[in-house]
Amino acid sequence: GDSVTQMEGPVTLSEEAFLTINCTYTATGYPSLFWYVQYPGEGLQLLLKATKADDKGSNKGFEATYRKETTSFHLEKGSVQVSDSAVYFCALWDNYQLIWGAGTKLIIKP
């Protein structure tokens, strides 16, 4: 079946560093892809999405490009802030459900 694999965390960076969180997927067809973020004590919030190959989703300085050739949807941000500390989930839409990665905890130190 379909699956999502994310890099293991935690990822610890200094403020203003460049962020990449890797996400690869296995799916039949070309599913919509999502990044969700979970801040401490809060629920799952949609961060960005892409619905077809080569689409770039972006929000709050984060970007991810739907790469069909490498079946990837890596999350990037050019300059992270302490407030970006959270758990980030990559997910794909599988006809009737979201299939989730394990989540990557991001810790940003001032």
Partner 1 sequence: EPEVTQTPSHQVTQMGQEVILRCVPISNHLYFYWYRQILGQKVEFLVSFYNNEISEKSEIFDDQFSVERPDGSNFTLKIRSTKLEDSAMYFCASTTAYNQPQHFGDGTRLSIL
Q: Which residues bind partner 1 (CB under 8 A)?
A: 32, 34, 36, 41-46, 49, 89, 91, 93, 96-103
CB of residue 86 vs partner 1: minimum separation in angstroms?
14
Smaller CB distance to partner 1: residue 42 or 69? 42
* Of 80 and 101, CB closest to partner 1: 101
Please name the residues in contact with 22: beta carbons below 8 A apart, sequence gap of 6 or more.
6, 7, 72, 74
Spatial neighbors of 17 by CB under 8 A, at least 6 apart, are: 79, 80, 108
* Least distance between partner 1 and beta carbon 45 (Å): 7
Residue among 70, 101, 45 at smallest CA distance from 62: 45
Q: Which is nearer to partner 1, 41 or 110 (CB)?
A: 41
| Closest approach of partner 1 to the CB of residue 76, in Å | 20
Cα(36)–Cα(23) distance, integer angstroms? 12
